[in-house]
Every structure is written in C-alpha cells, then in structure tokens.
Copies of this chain bind each other. A is one copy, B any other.
Amino acid sequence: MFSIGQLSKLTGVKIPTIRYYEQMGLIAAPERSEGNQRRYTADGLGRLSFIRHSRDLGFSIENIKGLLELSQHPERPCQDAHSIAVEHLKDVQNRIAKLRRLERELKRISKCDAGNIADCAVIETLADHGLCETEH
C-alpha cells in the first residue's frame, strides 16, 4: 500500500494533481486509512503511470479517459485506441506546422538592429501585418 506522497514520488505526478485526477474520474477513489488518508495499491500505481505517460505525450484528459476505458477491455478491437492516437498525431503535426511558420516570422523580425523603438522592426511588424511574409 502506498500513501499519496509515495505514489507521487514513484510516478512524478504532484500530489494535488493526483487528487485532481481522482476528482475528474480518471482514477478511482482509493481505500482510506483509519485516519482517512488515501492508500493505493499497485494497480493504482499502474493506472497513474499510464495517465502520466499519456499526459507527457500530450493526450487530453478526455482522451485518456477513453484510452483507459479501452485498456480495461482487452478483447475489444483496437480501432478506437488507434484512431485516438492518429487524431492526436494529426493535431501535433498541425501545431508543429503552425509553430514553424511563427518561428520563421519571429526570426525575421527579431533580427532588428535599430537603435531605438522608432525604427525597430519588431514593433513595426507587430503594428502592421502587411509586413509579414507568411500568413497567420
């Protein structure tokens, strides 16, 4: 049996976050000690690790709920899990593409070597979208 602090250390998930996950229904409310403190089993540890890892990979709480549900039913077809992952991959790729356009623009405008604000390319570009090279 682990206390919430031990679980936190083992998984790297902060204590208030664990309680938050419980509130959100991601993990079941665990048993309690006589003094009303949470006591987790190895099962709880596994589930929280799954969540931690999924969050690291950027899955939303809602997606993780779905994935956890699926993982409880080994006999089901895995299409659903697959499409959640693929959707998320698409999302990640979109975000990368968008950030790279920003990167280009920021690189360009931050090359400013003016002496004062009046001629600063950063300020000038922000004030006038027309000066941008890419769309956003």
Using a CB–CB distance below 8 Å, which chain A residues touch chain B?
A: 46, 49-50, 53-54, 56-58, 67, 70-71, 73-78, 81-82, 84-86, 88-89, 92-93, 95-96, 99-100, 102-103, 105-107, 109-110, 112, 114-120, 122-123, 125-129, 136
Q: By the criterion CB–CB under 8 Å, are A58 and B89 in contact?
A: no
- In the complex formed, the residue of B with least CB distance to A120 is B78
Q: Write out the residue numbers on chain B whose beta carbons fall within 8 Å of the beta carbon of A127.
A: 46, 49-50, 53, 71
SS class of chain A's interface: helix, strand, loop or mixed?
Answer: helix
Q: What are 18 contact pairs spanning A and B, CB under 8 A?
A: A49-B129, A71-B126, A71-B127, A75-B117, A75-B118, A78-B115, A78-B116, A78-B120, A81-B112, A81-B120, A82-B110, A82-B112, A82-B122, A85-B106, A89-B103, A89-B107, A96-B100, A96-B103
Q: Who on chain B is nearest to A110 by CB?
A: B85
Smallest Cβ distance from A46 to chain B, in angstroms?
7
In the assembled complex, the Cα of A76 lies from the Cα of B53 at a distance in Å of 48
List chain B residues, Cβ under 8 A from A93: 103
Nearest chain B CB to A122 CB, angstrom units: 4
